[in-house]
Structure formats: C-alpha cells, structure tokens
Amino acid sequence: MREFVFALEYEPGTNPVADVLADYPEMSVRSLSCHVSADSLWRVDLASGPDAALAELERAYETADYFADCLVKDHCGADCEVQVLDRSIDTLVVYTYWERTEVCTSVPHVALEYLGEGLLFE
C-alpha cells in the first residue's frame, strides 16, 4: 500500500470553501465518498461546525464557481453540479460532480495520475 500525503495553501479569495474554513477554524469538512476518473469527479462531503459557519459554507458551495479540490485558479470551463443532501444545525452533507476540461486538475486527479486506479481517498 502506498500513501499520498499533501498540504494545500490558498491565497484568500481564490477558493470560497477554503475561505470559509479559514474564517471558522472550528469547522471541518471530510469526504464520505470520493470517486475520480480521468474524465470526472464526484464526491459526498460532510461538514461539521457552528450553524453560522455552515450557512456560509452552503452559500459558498451554491453560488461560487467552485469545484471540489480544484487546483486551477481561474474558471476552467467545467460545469459543476452541487446539491445539498442534508442539513442540520451542526452538519451539512454536500454532493459535488464535475467533468474535467483540458485545463482542469484536482487533488484526486493528481493522486490518480501518481497512484493509478483503485485508490482510497480520505
């Protein structure tokens, strides 16, 4: 088994989800499921934190040109589908799907390129 470990740093204003997480360090987002192919990515994420933080995160998911784990600073031309699956006072479950364009790349796509098919992602 091989492990691919990484850390991402975002400049403020480049990723709306990262901005909300920076504003609310007590919040966390983790993947419940992440599936990546050469052409697309879909995932289900669970966010936990204060209600106000989750409300901002929900707006960030629904209104921004945000693609899960996207590493491209400018809009890459991909169409992204985002759907809130569940919302409570302290949790938010979000489904995200997008198809890659020629300039798209993401953390799961980099892992796929380095490790190949059949990887587990957390």
Please report whether residue 2 resides in a domain.
Answer: no
Q: Is residue 84 part of a domain?
A: yes
- 93 or 78, greater pLDDT: 93
* Digit-coded pLDDT (tens) for 32-73: 988 888 888 888 999 999 999 999 999 988 776 655 566 666
Q: Is residue 49 part of a domain?
A: yes
User: What is the structure's pLDDT at 94?
Assistant: 94
Contact (Cβ atoms closer than 8 angstroms) between residue 16 and residue 65: no
Residue 92 forms part of a structural domain: yes
Residue 5 lies in a domain: no
- Rounded Cα distance between 2 and 58, Å, is 34
Does pTM surpass 0.85?
no
Which of 33 and 114 is assigned the larger pLDDT? 33
Give the pLDDT confidence of 81-109 residue by residue, as tens digits: 889 999 999 999 999 888 877 767 777 77
Domain total for the chain? 1
pLDDT for 84: 93
Residue ranges making up the domain that contains 108: 16-115
Residue 85 domain flag:
yes
**Mean pLDDT lowest among 18-32, 35-49, 107-121:** 107-121
| pLDDT at res. 25 | 94
> Is 121 part of any domain?
no
- Contact (CB, 8 A) for 20 and 45: no
Residue 96 lies in a domain: yes
- What is 4-67 written as a DSSP string? --------TTS-HHHHHHHH-TT-EEEEEEEEE-SSEEEEEEEEES-HHHHHHHHHHHHHS---
